[in-house]
Amino acid sequence: MSTQTDIASLEKLPFDELVAYINQLIMKDFSRLVYLLYAVDVSENKLKQLLADHPNEDAGKLIALLMLERQEQKRKTREQFKKPDDEIPEEERW
């Protein structure tokens, strides 16, 4: 399964299921979690700081929030820089 498919699938999960999945990765497949965080482009420093600031919170919940926040940031950036179809020359359209 490709990274994009993995991320798209995770975004469609109900929040509680995403948290449970992340907690499962923490316990059983930490390297997969690191891979997903890298693929989503979650800031390592931001994650470390959030976990340090909230030591008694569910780490899966905090990580899920950061992942969703990052995906939303990327969506907004794409929208901000998206050109309307009428501004793209015909020869460059797909």
Q: For the ranges 24-28, 29-33, 77-81, 87-91, which has the lowest average pLDDT? A: 87-91
Q: What is the mean pLDDT of the chain?
A: 87
Q: How confident is the model over 52-67, as pLDDT tens digits?
A: 999 999 999 999 999 9
Q: How confident is the model over 3-21, as pLDDT tens digits?
A: 555 677 777 788 999 999 9
92 burial (CB, 10 Å; 0-12 / 13-18 / 19+) is: exposed
DSSP H stretches of helix in the chain: 3-12, 15-28, 30-40, 44-53, 59-81
Residue 74 CB contacts under 8 Å (≥ 6 apart), including other chains: 41
Query: What is the percent of the chain with per-residue pLDDT over 90, rounded to a whole number?
Result: 64
